[in-house]
Amino acid sequence: MPQGVLVFAELREGIVKKASLEATSEGYRIAKQLGEELSVLLIGSSIKQLPSKLFPYGACKVHLADHPLLEQYSSEGYSEIAYNLIKDKDPSIVLFPATAMGRDIAPRLAARLKVGLASDCTALQLDEEKRLECRRPVYSGKAFALVNLTSTPQMATLRPNIFNAEELKEPPKGEVIELSVELKPESIRAKVIDLIKPEQEVPDLSEAIVIVSGGRGMKNGENFELLESLASTLQGAVGASRAAVDAGWVDHQIQVGQTGKVVSPQLYIACGISGAIQHLAGMSSSKYIIAINKDPEAPVFKVADFGIVGDLFEVIPCLTEALQKLSKA
């Protein structure tokens, strides 16, 4: 009989992603309600020191797949490890962070296991039959659907920055189980040859607590320096609408929206963004939204918690200056 909760933990450059800690915490909460055990799958190379990072968040067991061929993520290599573990341990629930890696591997595994998958979930709960019930946005975030998973294992990806990553006061002792990895170079057809990083470090928007985004109203790329100053003051990151990206003002990596990144920060400041439904789909789950636009009829004001009708080139410098004074006080 299937039993236990398994979480796939994502690594980037030898660091456990915050979204993975959130998924681990939520997995522990669900496992506790079921009276079952939480396990975590950790895949990479030279990572034997990392399982200790997961025990404080409720992991009872960490299955460790450590192999040189797993240093860089590959769909084939990682999905093969995860598939074999799921078939061997037969968990009732498998959770993934809804990051680029999680969104790639989860549907591959669901198809291979011939089970359903609830993607980009913003809440999880158990129904009367102790089956997983997932809340996820539909119709570009205009509504939410409650999805009941009838197949086993029940699989879901969790939207970053929605679930709390909470360290336990009395975490389990934890056990590390090293997996036997039998991979040959020819079994991984797509290989990472080189990683080319941007000249300036681009923060991960999916994990940012504060995001300051600019749209067509910024007029040009140079004006994004205003947003960078405000974001820096708030210890946040800079985002952009598709219009700003398509105009070539900023890099696609910071695009927020249906065709960009879906984000859920504590604070989202939309500057010169009208609020097309494609953009709202990527940020409407933010805890607080502030809109700055000179058009009082802009659709973005309908989803904003606070709105400022005015010229952003006057408002943003004043706002930045006021916040800087507050931080020094």
Evaluate if residue 201 carries a pLDDT over 70: no
Q: What is the largest CA-CA distance in the chain?
A: 64
Q: How do the domains of the chain map onto residue ranges?
A: 5-187, 205-328
Residue 117 forms beta bridges with which residues?
155
Q: Per-residue pLDDT averaged across 292-297, rounded? A: 96
**CA-CA distance, 213 to 221, in Å (whole number)?**
12
Q: Give the per-residue pLDDT at 199.
A: 66
The yes-or-no answer to whether 5-187 and 205-328 have a common fold is yes
- The dihedral of CA 265, 158, 134, 25: what is its sign? negative
Q: Give the per-residue pLDDT at 192.
A: 80
CA dihedral 203, 217, 137, 6 (to 10 degrees): 0
Evaluate if residue 203 carries a pLDDT over 90: no
Q: Give the per-residue pLDDT at 166.
A: 92
Evaluate if residue 286 carries a pLDDT over 90: yes
**CA-CA distance, 130 to 33, in Å (whole number)?**
9
Evaluate if residue 55 carries a pLDDT over 70: yes
CATH number given to 205-328: 3.40.50.1220
**What is the fold of 5-187?**
Rossmann fold (3.40.50)
Evaluate if residue 202 carries a pLDDT over 80: no
Helix 100-113 and helix 75-89, axial crossing angle in degrees, nearest 10: 50
Q: What are the strands, taking DSSP E only, across 49-166? A: 61-66, 93-97, 117-121, 123-126, 132-138, 143-148, 154-158
Q: Per-residue pLDDT averaged across 128-143, rounded? A: 89
Residue 190 — pLDDT band, cuts 50, 70, 90?
confident
Q: How far, in whole angstroms, is CA 125 from its chain's centroid?
A: 19
Evaluate if residue 141 carries a pLDDT over 90: no
Q: How far, in whole angstroms, is CA 222 from its chain's centroid?
A: 29
Q: Give the per-residue pLDDT at 102.
A: 94
Q: Per-residue pLDDT averaged across 14-43, rounded? A: 95
Evaluate if residue 314 carries a pLDDT over 80: yes
Helices assigned H by DSSP within 60-138:
75-89, 100-113
Q: Tens digits of per-residue pLDDT, 57-109? A: 999 999 999 998 898 898 999 999 999 999 999 999 999 999 989 999 999 99
Kind of pairing, strands 132-138 and 123-126?
Answer: antiparallel
Q: Give the per-residue pLDDT at 10.
A: 94
Residue 156 — pLDDT band, cuts 50, 70, 90?
very high
| Triad 178, 184, 185: Cα angle to 5° | 120
Q: What is the CA radius of gyration of the chain?
A: 21
Report the percent of the chain where pLDDT is more than 90: 75
